[in-house]
């Protein structure tokens, strides 16, 4: 599983095949990777134009920021971190952070628990499918919203409200997926809490880099809502014809992303795509459209 993957392009020729993928009552494609992997050809809904199928070997070389000194209040470490954030945000808005205070065991547990969700049978996952206009629930290849250039992925999303003392994430997992997933809910309740803590640290850094009071954005966002999204990219026999996630920008204020070691995340700068190296001990930070 990877939290952000752009599959590599390896085929110079694209052959369009009629779709033989089963559909629901609305006519939308039912994305069932276990069945698709047995087919010799890729349904046309998942095939992307040649111009979109980029492949790069060059890395972004985004700043890697050690948050340890900043969190402890070390002035020299803070000044260095602020300079790196300022440089990154003036160029592209991407940087990675280490010594962020999130236990590696919690990160690993989050991967393991969500694996069990994505491995459920398709009919079970459709039971907690994202409703039209909503953001919580399961989505397969965004087939409920689009009919062409479908991404080769499954997503599972849910909300989190920072100042809410009620364990809303636990309740969502128990109500939507059943009591068997209560433990998964607790893992993600803790994970979301740590993401909130980390986001407020990042907002302090951003404020200092902009020359304003360091608590300005922390106070503004501390009662905000967040969306947790898990992306799963199943193996694909024709990965050179499709994308795991298409080109996009994040509409939110801040994205905190953990990649597994598969890699694939790329950033478009000055008419060129650059790869973002996965780092097991780091989170990728992206300044979203709202904060921009």
Q: What is the reported pLDDT for 162?
A: 81
- Residue 279 φ/ψ region, left for φ over 0, alpha for ψ in the -120 to 50 degree band, beta for the rest: beta
Q: What is the reported pLDDT for 24?
A: 54
Whether the per-residue pLDDT at 72 is higher than 90: the answer is yes
For residue 187, being part of any structural domain is answered with: yes
Which of 16-25, 70-79, 185-194, 241-250 is predicted with the least confidence, judged by mean pLDDT? 16-25
Which of 49-53, 94-98, 251-255, 276-280 is predicted with the least confidence, judged by mean pLDDT? 49-53
Residues 3-26: pLDDT tens digits? Answer: 322 222 222 222 333 344 555 555
Which of 59-73, 154-168, 201-215 is predicted with the least confidence, judged by mean pLDDT? 154-168
Residues 276-290: pLDDT tens digits? Answer: 999 999 999 999 999
Please report where in the chains the tokens 């990728």 appear, as a residue: 284
For residue 20, being part of any structural domain is answered with: no
For residue 271, being part of any structural domain is answered with: yes
Look up the pTM and report it.
Answer: 0.88
- Given the DSSP bridges, would you call strands 64-66 and 94-98 parallel, antiparallel or unpaired? parallel
**How many CB atoms are located within 10 Å of the residue 284 CB?**
23
**More confident site: 176 or 10:** 176
**Per-position DSSP letters for the chain, written without gaps between them:** --SS--PPP--S----------B-TTS-B---HHHHTTSSS--GGG---GGG------B----EEE-HHHHHT-HHHHHHHHHHHHHHHHHTSEEEEES-S--HHHHHHHHHHHHHHHTS-HHHHGGGBPPTT--SEEEETTTTT-SSS--S-EEEEEEEETT--S-HHHHHHHHHH-GGGHHHHHHHHHHHHHHHHHHHHHHHHHHHHTTS-TTHHHHHHTT-EEEEEEEE----TTGGG--SS-S----SSEEEE---TT---EEEETTEEEE----TT-EEEEE-TTT-
Domain containing residue 185: 46-287
CATH number assigned to the domain comprising residue 239: 2.60.120.330
Report percent pLDDT > 90 for the chain. Answer: 66
Whether the per-residue pLDDT at 263 is higher than 90: the answer is no
Residues 214-257: pLDDT tens digits? Answer: 999 999 999 889 999 999 999 888 888 999 898 999 999 999 99
For residue 177, being part of any structural domain is answered with: yes
Total number of domains constituting the chain:
1
Q: What is the reported pLDDT for 28?
A: 60
For residue 2, being part of any structural domain is answered with: no
For residue 156, being part of any structural domain is answered with: yes
For residue 31, being part of any structural domain is answered with: no
For residue 38, being part of any structural domain is answered with: no
Whether the per-residue pLDDT at 144 is higher than 50: the answer is yes
């Amino acid at each position: 599983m990877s939290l952000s993957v752009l599959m590599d392009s390896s085929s110079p020729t694209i052959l369009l095949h009629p779709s033989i993928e089963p559909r629901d009552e609305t006519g939308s494609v039912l994305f069932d990777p276990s069945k698709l992997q047995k087919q010799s050809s890729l349904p046309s809904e998942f095939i992307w134009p040649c111009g979109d199928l980029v492949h790069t070997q060059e890395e972004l070389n985004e700043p890697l920021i050690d948050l340890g000194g900043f969190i402890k209040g070390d002035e020299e470490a803070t000044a260095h971190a602020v300079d790196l954030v300022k440089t990154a945000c003036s160029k592209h808005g991407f940087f990675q952070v280490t010594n962020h205070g999130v236990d590696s065991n919690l990160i690993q547990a989050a991967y393991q628990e969500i694996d069990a969700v994505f491995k459920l049978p398709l009919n079970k996952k459709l039971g907690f499918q994202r409703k039209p206009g909503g953001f919580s629930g399961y989505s397969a290849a965004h087939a409920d919203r689009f009919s062409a250039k479908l991404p080769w992925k499954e997503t599972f999303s849910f909300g989190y409200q920072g100042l809410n003392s009620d364990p809303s994430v636990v309740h969502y997992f128990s109500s939507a997926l059943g009591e068997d997933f209560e433990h998964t809910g607790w893992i993600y309740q803790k994970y979301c809490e740590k993401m909130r803590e980390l986001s407020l640290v990042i907002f302090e850094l951003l404020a200092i880099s902009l020359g304003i009071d360091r608590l300005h954005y922390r106070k503004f966002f501390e009662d905000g809502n967040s969306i947790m999204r898990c992306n799963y990219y199943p193996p694909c026999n024709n990965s050179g014809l499709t994308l795991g996630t298409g080109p996009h920008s994040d509409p939110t204020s801040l994205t905190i992303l953990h990649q597994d070691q598969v890699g694939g995340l790329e950033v478009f700068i000055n008419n060129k795509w650059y790869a973002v190296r996965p780092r097991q001990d780091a989170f990728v930070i992206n300044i979203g459209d709202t904060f921009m």
